Amino acid sequence: MKSISLVIAIFLMAASNISFAENRIAKAELPAPVRNAMVSHSTGATIVGYATDTENGKVEYEMQLMVNGHTKDVTFDPQGNLLEVEEQVQ
């Protein structure tokens, strides 16, 4: 029984260092280069929200959009460089 408790404790400590979800943030919390880059990528879309996440030890900023009835997530680094575009397909 002690070994099971130890395994659970180790798992919980390891899991606490892993980011499973993005953290929602306000537009005002975005770095200026990211806000500026997001303007050109949101033309014609409805902005749903903003989030920050850490991937491989690096901070990323995401903008969630609705475009023509489907979702689109656009991810940037802190300098405003485009990293990834995820778009729902039907």
At residue 1, does pLDDT exceed 60? no
64-86 pLDDT, tens per residue?
Answer: 999 999 999 999 999 999 999 99
Average pLDDT of every residue of the chain: 83
Q: Which residues contact 55 (CB under 8 A, 6 or more apart)?
A: 19
pLDDT-derived band of residue 6, with 50, 70 and 90 as boundaries?
Answer: very low
Choose among 18, 25, 19, 17: nearest CA to 62.
25
Model pTM?
0.74
At residue 3, does pLDDT exceed 70? no
Pairwise CA distance, residues 50 & 76, whole Å:
11
pLDDT-derived band of residue 89, with 50, 70 and 90 as boundaries?
Answer: confident
Q: Give the chain's radius of gyration (CA, Å).
A: 17
68: left (phi over 0), alpha (psi -120 to 50) or beta: left
